[in-house]
Amino acid sequence: MAYPHRHENETTTLLSRHMGEEKARHLDGWLERGGYEALRKAVDMEPDEITGVVKDSGLRGRGGAGFPTGMKWSFMPGADDDRPHYLCCNADESEPGAFKDREIMRWTPHLLIEGCLIAARAIRAGHVYIYVRGEFFPVIRILNDAVSEAYEAGYIGEDILGSGWSCDLTVHIGAGAYIAGEETGLMSSLEGRRAEPRVKPPFPAQHGIFGQPTTVNNVETLSAVPMILSNGADWYRQWGTEKSPGTKLWCCSGHLNRPGNYELALGAPLRDIIYDVCGGIPDGRDLRAVIPGGSSTAFLTPDELDCETTYEGLKEVGSSLGTASPIVMDESTCLLKAMRRIAHFYAHESCGQCVQCREGTEWVTKILERIEHGEGKMQDIDNLYDLCEQLTGRTICVLADSVVFPLKSSLDKFRDEYEAHILRDTCTAS
Amino acid sequence: MSGGEGMSDGLHPAVAGSQPYMLADRQGSASRDEPLFESEEGRERLEKILSRYPSKRPALLPLLNYAQERNGWVSGSAMEEIADALELTPAYVHSVATFYTMYNRRPIGRYLVQVCTNISCHLNRGEEVMERFLQETGTRPGETSEDGLFTVMEVECLGACGFATVVQVNDEYVEDVTPEKVPGIVKELRDRAGQGGA
Amino acid sequence: MSEQNGQKDTVTLTIDGVEVTVPEGTRVLDAAQRAGVVVPYYCYHPGIPTRPAQCRVCLVSVEGQGKLQPSCVLDAQDEMVVHTATEEAKLARKSVIEFLLVNHPLDCPICDAAGQCMLQDYAFETGQLESRLDEPKQVMGRDRISDDIMYFADRCIICTRCVRFMREVAEDDALIVAERGHRAYIDTFPGTKLDNPFQGNIVDICPVGALVHEDFLFKARYWDMDSASSVCPGCSNGCNVAIDTKENQIVRLKPRHNAEVNSYWMCDHGRKHLVMANRGIRAEVPLLRGEDGELRPADWAEALETVAERLGEVSGGRAVVSPHDCNESLFYLRRLLDRMGIDGGSFTVERGEEATLSGFPKLKLRADRAPNVSGAEIFGFERADGLSGPEAGAALVVLEERLQGAPAELDDEAFGEDASYFLYLGSRISPAARAADAILPVTSFAEMQGTFTNWEGRVQRFDQALREPGIARPAWMVLSRVLELMGEGEAVLEAADAFERMVGDTAPMEEATWASLGLKGAPLAPTAGSGAGGA
C-alpha cells in the first residue's frame, strides 16, 4: 500500500493529521491521539444542539453534491417522531478520480465511527449502516476491526459512555455498482435490492431505508464532524470561504509528479494545486486539460486554472468542485480517447431504469468509439450536442446528466480534437 | 445487539456480513459448490447477519458475499439456498446477483486479477497493463487460464487513482503498476501458488 | 384544499387549461385522464400497484418547477398548473421514442404486435420517424420463458410491467430483470420456466411485441382481425373477454376490463380453452327421422312444424341441459318443458382445480368449468353426478350448446333409445343424438348473442363472434318458434327481445334490461329454484 504524500504546509492537516500512522487505526492508539473526545461531548448535548453547531460551521457534503450538512440533518423528523431513524454512511467511493474516503477509513477508521455516532445522535438514529464498496477489502478489514474494538469498549451499542443513549452500527459491503453510491441507489442496495435510484419525493428524511427516516452522508463529511464539535463552528470557518468553509481532502491523479491525497483549505487556485502541491506534470510537459472534481465534472482548459477551488468558484467557470478530484491530462493525451473511456464508464454503470441513460450512454460511447476508429462524421458532433440535451434533466437520477458535463465541455473546448479525428483521422495531441 | 456470547467464529455481528471473501491465498482454485447453511458455522453466520436488519431481504448482499467466501463464486444452488433462507424467490436473487459486477457467476481462477482502465489509469497506460497481464497469463479477458491460476478482467475505477495503474488481485490492491512490472507480478503469483497447498 | 364544496380532501388543478377537481392523493396522470387529457405512458398500468416512473414517457411541464415531472407519480396539488404538450414535454417524449428505437429491431413486418403496438403509436404521435443511429444494433436474441410464451429481448423496452404483474398481481416473483444498463433483459431463474395459471396476462400488457404467445405467433395481423365482446365459458367466474377472429376462426382471447369480475386479467385456462370453438364437426341442418327410421335433412319450416306437432302429443318425460347453455335458451326450454308437463331436469358440470389471482382474488379459475351453472339453476335444472336416460315410453329433451366436454352419457348411442320421443337440440351431434327423432342444430355462445349468469349471480351479455355454421340458429330462437307453433306466445328473432321476455318472467332478473347490462353486466340476486313463471 502506498502512503499519502505530505504537503509542507501542515496547518491544514485536520482530517489527515494521522494518516500514515499505523497506530492510529487501533483504539488504544486512537485514544492516545484524542479520539472519542468529541463523542463524549456529543452525548451530553441535545440532538438539535449538535445539528446547530454543524449548521453554523457551514460544512457541506463531501460526496460530490455539496449540500449543507446541517440543513440535511434538520430535514429529519424531530423528537416527537417515534419511528426508527437511520444514518447511512456512504463509503461506496466509486467516482473516477476520487480516493479520499479510502484513506480516511484505512488510517483513521475510528474517526469515521466517531463522526457516524455523533451524526446519529443529531438525527436521532438508532442504527448506523456504513455501506462500503465491496472492492475495498484492505479497508474493510481495518474498519471491521475498528468497529469490533469500538463495540467492545462501549463506544457503540447500548448505553454509550454511560449516557443512556444507545446506537448500533453495522458494516455493509457492496458488490460492484457505481450507482450504489447515489443516495437512493445506496438505500435500495442496502435493502437487498438492485441498486436502482428512486424517484424523489418521497425524500429519504421522510421515507428512506425500510420506509423510515434516513440520512445519507459521505465518509469525509462525517469524519469532519468530531473536530467541528470539539472546536466549534467558528474554528472550522477559519479555513475556506464564507460559502465553502473548511478543508478538503484533494485527490490528485493523472499526469502529475506527485499524485495523491492532499488536505487543503478550500479556495486555493487550481493552478497552485496542480503545480505547487502536486509538483506539476512529469517531464515538463504542458497541461492540456483537467477535470477538476472527478469524472462527473466539466473539463477545464489551461487558461481556466486560476479559478477558486470552492463550490461557487468552480461553478463560475462552468464546472464543479464535486469530490475535489482533479484528473490532469498533459499534451500527449488524446482527448477523444479519454472522453470515450469516460463515457464507457457511465454506460457500464447505468442501472437501466430510464431509457435515456440506458440507451443514451451506450450510444454516446459507440459514437465516440467510431470516431476514434476513424469512421466519424461531422454530423456526429451535432448529434453528440443534441444527445447532451436529451440526457439532461429527464431521468430519475443524475447519472445521465453526469456524462454530459465532461462530454459537452469537451465538445465546446476541444472541438478541434473531434474534427481532427473525423476529418483527418489524426489526433491533436502532441 | 452488541454480542459477546456464542461468537465461535470470533466475529462481532456488526461485521459478520462484511467479511472480505477474496482470500489472498485460496487453497486450490475457487470453484466449490458446497451448501452454505448446513454447517453450524454457516448457520451461526446467517443468524448474526440476520440480526442486523429489521427484515430478511437486506441480508441478501451479505449472504451472496458469504457464498463467495465459501465457494469463490455464486452458483445456482447457492442462489436457491439463499432464497430459501430469506424467503425470497431464486429468480429474485438472480436478479440482484446479476446487477452487481463482483458476483462471479462462474468458477474463477485462483487469482482474480482485475485491472482498472478508467480515466486516471487510462492516462497511465492502464490498457497496456491489461494487455500485458493477458499475455503473461495466457488468457482472454474474463476467462480463466488453462492452468486454472488466473482470471483476468478489466474493471472500473477501484478508488486508488493517485497510484495508477491500480490492479486488484483477489483482496489485495497492487498499485503503481506499469506494463513493465507485470511479468514480475505474475511470476510472484505463480510462485506463491506453487508454494501454497494443492 | 378545495373550499368550494366544503370538503377538505380534494384538490383543484388545471391541466392543459382544463380545471379538474380530484381527491387528494390523486396523481397528475390520473387527474389528466379525468380532465380528458391523454398523457402517454408505458410502465404505469392501472391494474398493477407500483408506478416505477422509469419509462419517462409521461413527463409533463408544471409551472413553477424547472424540470419536467413524471405525471404518473406526481401528486396533484391545489392550484397546480400542468401543461402536457409544451415544446419541452413533446421533445422529451419524442426523445424517449428515439432512445427506445436505438436498439429496437425494426421487426414490424414480422412482429405480432404491429398495429397494436404502443411503440409504433407513440412514434407516429411524437413524430419520431427518422433515425440518426449510425451504429450496429445490439442483438440479444429470444428465449422461451414458458412453454407457451416467447420473449424477444431485442424488442423489450424494459418497462417491467411483466415483472411487476407477476410479482404484485400474480404474487409469483418468478420473472425478473437480469443484468443492468443496456445489457438488461427479462428472465426467469436460469434453468426454469414460468409456470403460472395467469402468466398469459403478461403478453397482453406488454406494450410492444417482446412477449408473444407461441400459439398466436404469425397467425393474424391486428387489422385482419374482428373482435367481439364476450364472456369466457371456461369456468363460472364469467371473465369479460374479447374474442378476436380472423376469417371466421377464433385466433385469440383477450380479457376486457371489468372491475367487478376480473379487473384487467383472465386465466390461461380460459385463453386456451376457446380455441376448440374452431374445431370439429358441427350440427348444421335440422334432421328428422322419417317413416323409414332414417334421419334425413329438413328445412326449418318443416322441422319446427313437425317438432311442434309431435311435442303437442307428449306428456311427461326428462330433460337434460348443459351449464354452457345461455339464459335465454334455458328460459325458453323451461317454458316448453312446462307445456310438456316435464318438471326439473339435470345437468353435469366438469370440475377442476381452482386457482386464484392473489392480487385480485375475485378472479379465480373456478371449480365449475362452465359459464352458466347459476343460470341453469335459476331455471330449475339441477346439478347431477350422472345423467339418467328417459323412462321407457316417456319423452327426452336434450339441449347441448356446449362445444366440447359433453357428458359421457351422451357418448352412448343407446342413451335415448327408449324414449317415446327424443328431441335433441345441440351444437354437435353427439353419439346419443343418433337415436333422436329430431335434431335441431343450435349455435354455440360464440355464434349468437345471449347472457350467462356467473357464480355470483352477475348476468353478462356476450356478442356474436363467429358466423353460424350451416343454418344453425340460437336455441332461444328455435324454441320460441316451437312454442309459438304450439300456441304459446310469440317467436323472437333478436336476443334483446328474448332477454326482455326472460326477465319479465323471471323473478331474480326483473330489474334488468338488455341495455342496462351493457358490456359489463349487472349483478342480480339469484334465488334458488325456478323463478320462471308460467304466465
- At B11-26, the pLDDT tens digits run 999 999 999 887 655 6
Verify that B91 and B61 share a domain, yes or no.
yes
What is the pLDDT at residue C273? 80
Best of B98, B103, B106 to disrupt the C interface (most C CBs within 10 Å) is B98
Cβ atoms of residues B176 and A2 within 8 Å: yes
Mean pLDDT value across chain A: 95
Residues A324, A220 contacting (CB under 8 angstroms): no
Does the pLDDT at position B5 exceed 50? no
- pLDDT of A351: 98
Q: Are A97 and B161 in contact (CB under 8 A)?
A: yes
Max intra-chain CA distance, chain A: 73
Q: Are strands C295-297 and C287-289 parallel, antiparallel or unpaired?
A: antiparallel
DSSP3 helix / strand / coil % (chain C, rounded to 5): 25, 20, 50
The three grid cell numbers given for residue A326, joined into one nine-digit string:
482533479
Asked if B22 and B58 sit in the same domain, the reply is: yes
Whole-model pTM: value is 0.95
With beta carbons under 8 A apart, name residues in chain A contacting B114: 135
Kindly report whether the peptide bond that precedes residue B165 is cis, defined as omega within 30 degrees of 0. yes
CB spacing of A352 vs C180 below 8 angstroms: yes
What are the chain C neighbours of B98 within 8 Å (beta carbons)? 178-180
Task: Name the fold adopted by A10-237.
Answer: Rossmann fold (3.40.50)
Nearest CA in chain A to B64: A175
Rounded to an integer, what is the distance from CA A199 to the centroid of its chain? 21
> What's the pLDDT tens digit per position in C93-150?
999 999 999 999 999 999 999 999 999 999 999 999 888 999 999 999 999 999 999 9
Q: Residue A266: pLDDT band by 50, 70, 90 thresholds?
A: very high
| Under 8 Å between Cβ of C502 and C509 | yes
pLDDT reported for residue C7: 55
Q: Nearest by CB to A158, which of B2, B13, B161?
A: B2
Are B73 and B121 contained in the same domain? no
Which residues have C-beta within 8 Å of that of residue C97, sequence separation ≥ 6?
A: C119, C122, C123, C126, C128
Residue B119: which of A141, A168, A341 has the nearest Cβ? Answer: A341
Whether pLDDT at A169 is above 70: yes
CA nearest B127 in A: which residue? A341
Which conformational region is residue A41 in: left (phi greater than 0), alpha (psi within -120 to 50 degrees), or beta?
alpha
Q: Compute the nearest-CA separation of A219 from chain C (Å).
A: 27
Distance from CA of residue A157 to its chain's centroid? 28
Q: Which residue has the higher pLDDT, C343 or C280?
A: C343
Average pLDDT, chain C: 93
Range in A10-14, C31-35, C227-231, C511-515 the model is least confident about: A10-14
What integer pLDDT is reported at residue B23 of this predicted model?
64
Closest to C135 (Cβ–Cβ): which among A352, A370, A396?
A: A370
3-state secondary structure C225-253: CEEEEEECCCCCCCCEEEEEEECCEEEEE
The set of residues, in sequence order, having a beta carbon less than 8 Å from that of B38 and lying 6+ positions away, is none
Q: What is the pLDDT of residue B20?
A: 86
- CA–CA distance, C323 with C383 (Å, rounded to integer): 9
By DSSP bridging, strand C10-15 and strand C18-23 are antiparallel
Q: Look at residue B186 and tell me if it is in a domain.
A: yes
What is the residue whose three cell numbers read 420456466? Answer: C193
Same domain membership, residue B84 and residue B134: no
The percent of residues above 70 in pLDDT, for chain A, comes to: 98
CA distances from A399 to A303, A312, A345, A413, C459 (A): 28, 22, 11, 22, 54
Min Cα distance A144 → chain B (Å) is 6
Question: How far is Cα C325 from Cα C339, in angstroms, rounded to an integer?
Answer: 20
Distance of CA A97 to the CA centre of its chain: 10
- Residue C530: band (very low, low, confident or very high) from pLDDT cuts 50, 70, 90: very low
How many H-runs (helices) and E-runs (strands) does chain B carry? Answer: 7, 4
Residue B26 placed within a domain = yes
The 3-state DSSP class for residue C347 equals strand
Residue A428 neighbours by CB distance under 10 Å: 17
CB spacing of A295 vs B119 below 8 angstroms: yes
Provide the 10 A C-beta neighbour count for residue B55. 12
Which chains lie within 8 Å of chain A at 3 or more CB pairs, if any?
B, C
**If you ran DSSP here, which 8-state letter would residue C351 be given?**
B
Would you say residue B182 has pLDDT above 60? yes
Q: Do B90 and C189 touch (CB under 8 A)?
A: yes
Strand order, beta sheet including C142-144: C142-144, C149-152, C211-213
Q: CB distance C55–A355 less than 8 Å?
A: yes
C350-371 per-position pLDDT tens digit? 999 999 999 999 999 999 999 9
Q: In whole angstroms, what is the distance from residue C272 CA to residue A347 CA?
A: 42
Q: How far apart are CA A375 and CA C78, in angstroms?
A: 54
Is residue B106 assigned to a domain?
no
Q: Residue B87 burial by CB count (10 A; 0-12/13-18/19+): exposed, middle or buried?
A: exposed
Chain C interface test: which of B89, B92, B101, B103 (most C C-beta within 10 Å)? B89
pLDDT > 50? residue B2: no
Nearest Cα of chain A lies from the Cα of B58 at a distance, in angstroms, of 4
Task: Name every residue whose Cβ is closer than 8 Å to that of residue A216 and which is 6 or more positions away in sequence.
Answer: A87, A88, A89, A90, A183, A186, A187, A204, A208
**Interchain CB contact of A362 with C (< 8 Å):** yes
Asked if residues A308 and A85 have their Cβ atoms less than 8 Å apart, the reply is no
Interface contact flag, A156 B95, Cβ < 8 Å: no
B93 and B151 both lie in a single domain:
no
pLDDT at res. A147: 98
Give the residue on C whose Cα is nearest the Cα of B79: C189
Q: What number of H helices and E strands is found in chain C?
A: 12, 26
Q: Measure the CA–CA gap between C472 and C274, rounded to whole angstroms.
A: 19
Assess contact for A95 and B157: CB atoms under 8 A. yes
Q: What CATH number should be reported for the domain whose range is A247-307+321-328? A: 3.10.20.600
Q: What pLDDT is attached to residue A430? A: 82
Q: Which of A219, A212, A61 shows the shortest CA–CA distance to A131?
A: A219
Contacts of B140 (CB under 8 A, 6+ apart): B134
Using alpha carbons, select from A264, A275, A267 the residue that is nearest to residue A313: A267
Percent of chain B with pLDDT over 70: 90
Residue B128 in domain: yes
DSSP type of residue B187: H
Decide: C426 and C400 in contact? Cβ < 8 Å. yes
| Domain at B120, CATH number | 3.40.30.10
**Distance from the A358 Cα atom to the nearest Cα atom in chain B, whole angstroms:** 14
Question: Cβ of A23: how many Cβ atoms within 10 Å?
Answer: 11
At residue A275, does pLDDT exceed 50? yes
pLDDT of C534 higher than 50: no
- Choose among C173, C178, C192: nearest Cβ to B98: C178
Contact A133, A92 (CB under 8 A): yes
Cell readout for C276 is 376448440
Give the model confidence (pLDDT) of C409-422 as tens digits: 999 999 998 899 99
Give just the sign of the alpha carbon dihedral C491, C231, C533, C315: positive
Interchain proximity C59–A356, CB inside 8 Å: no
C-alpha distance from A276 to closest chain B C-alpha (Å): 16
Q: Which pLDDT tens digit goes with each residue over A304-332?
A: 999 999 999 999 999 999 999 999 999 99
Q: Considering the domain boundaries, does residue B3 fall inside one?
A: no
The cell numbers describing C283, all together, are 350440427
Residue matched to cell numbers 505463480? B190
Q: What residue numbers bound the domain in which B57 lies? A: 13-97
Range of weakest confidence among A135-144, A383-392, B31-40, C447-456: B31-40
Residue C91 has pLDDT above 60, yes or no: yes
ipTM: 0.95
Nearest Cα residue in chain C from A347: C181
pLDDT for the residue numbered B3: 42
Size of interface A-C (CB pairs under 8 A): 85
Max CA pair span of chain C: 91
SS3 content of chain B, % helix, strand, coil (to 5): 40, 10, 45
Is there a contact between C410 and C426 (Cβ–Cβ < 8 Å)?
Answer: no
What residues have CB less than 8 Å from B133, skipping those under 6 apart? B113, B115, B150, B152, B167, B182, B186
pLDDT per residue over C160-203, tens digit each? Answer: 999 999 999 999 999 999 999 999 999 999 999 999 999 999 99
Contacts of A351 in chain B (CB under 8 A): 99
Which CATH number fits the domain that encloses residue B64?
Answer: 1.10.10.1590
Q: Using an 8 Å Cβ cutoff, are C133 and C95 in contact?
A: no
User: Is residue C250 predicted with pLDDT exceeding 60?
Assistant: yes
Tell which residue, A342, A363, A335, A357, has the closest CA to residue A421: A335
The torsion angles phi and psi of C431, rounded to 5 degrees, stand at -50, -40
Q: Is position B5 within any domain?
A: no
Does residue B53 form part of some domain? yes
Whether residue C158 and residue A351 make contact (CB cut-off 8 A), yes or no, is no
Element (H, E) at C382: strand C382-383
B12 to A252: CB separation less than 8 angstroms, yes or no: no
User: Looking at residue B198, what is its pLDDT?
Assistant: 39
Q: Is C166 buried (19+), middle (13-18) or exposed (0-12) by CB count in 10 A? A: buried
Please answer yes or no on whether C189 and B76 come within 8 Å at the CB atom: yes
More confident residue, C393 or C107: C107
User: Which value, in Å, is the radius of gyration of the alpha carbons in chain B?
Assistant: 18
A138 near B CB under 8 A: yes
Whether the per-residue pLDDT at C263 is higher than 90: the answer is: yes
How far is Cα C106 from Cα C50, in angstroms, rounded to an integer? 30
Q: Is the C-alpha dihedral spanning B153, B159, B160, B161 positive or negative?
A: positive
Q: Which of C343, C347, C427 is nearest to C391 (CA)?
A: C343
The helix (H) or strand (E) run that includes residue C423 is strand C421-426
Whether B140 and B78 share a structural domain: no
Same domain for B125 and B169, yes or no, is: yes
CA–CA dist A398, A92 (Å, integer)? 17
Q: Which residues of C touch A366 (CB under 8 A)?
A: 135
- Tell me if B88 is assigned to some domain: yes
User: CA-nearest residue of chain A to B16?
Assistant: A171
List the subunits that have 3+ CB pairs under 8 angstroms with B.
A, C
Instruction: Report the pLDDT value the prediction gives residue C525, as an integer from 0 to 100.
Output: 57
Q: Is A136 on the interface with B (CB under 8 A)?
A: yes
Amino acid at B169: V
Smallest Cα distance from C422 to chain B, Å: 58
- Other Cβ atoms within 10 Å of B142 Cβ, number: 11
Q: Where are the domains of chain A?
A: 10-237, 247-307+321-328, 335-424
User: Hey, are the CB atoms on C189 and B98 less than 8 Å from each other?
Assistant: no
Rounded Cα distance between C498 and C491, Å, is: 9
Q: What number of residues does chain B have? A: 198
| DSSP designation for C200 | T
The pLDDT tens digits of the residues spanning C425-476 come to 999 999 999 999 999 999 999 999 999 999 999 999 999 999 999 999 999 9
With beta carbons under 8 A apart, name residues in chain B contacting A132.
18
Of the residues B97, B120, B137, the one at which a domain ends = B97
Total structural domains within chain B: 2
Question: Is the CB of C53 less than 8 angstroms away from the CB of A396?
Answer: yes
Amino acid identity for residue C211 in this structure = L
Q: What is the pLDDT of residue C528?
A: 38
* Domain A335-424: which CATH number of 1.10.357.10, 3.40.50.12170, 1.20.1440.230, 1.20.950.20: 1.20.1440.230
Each residue of A343-376: pLDDT tens digit?
Answer: 999 999 999 999 999 999 999 999 999 999 999 9
Q: Which residue of B has its CA nearest to C176?
A: B95
The pLDDT of residue C407: 87
Q: Taking CB atoms and an 8 Å limit, are C176 and B79 in contact across chains?
A: no
Spell out a b/e string for A276-294, using b for 16 or more CB atoms within 10 Å of the CB, else e: ebbebbeeeeebbbbbbbb
Q: Which of C56, C132, C177 sits opposite A356 (nearest CB)?
A: C56
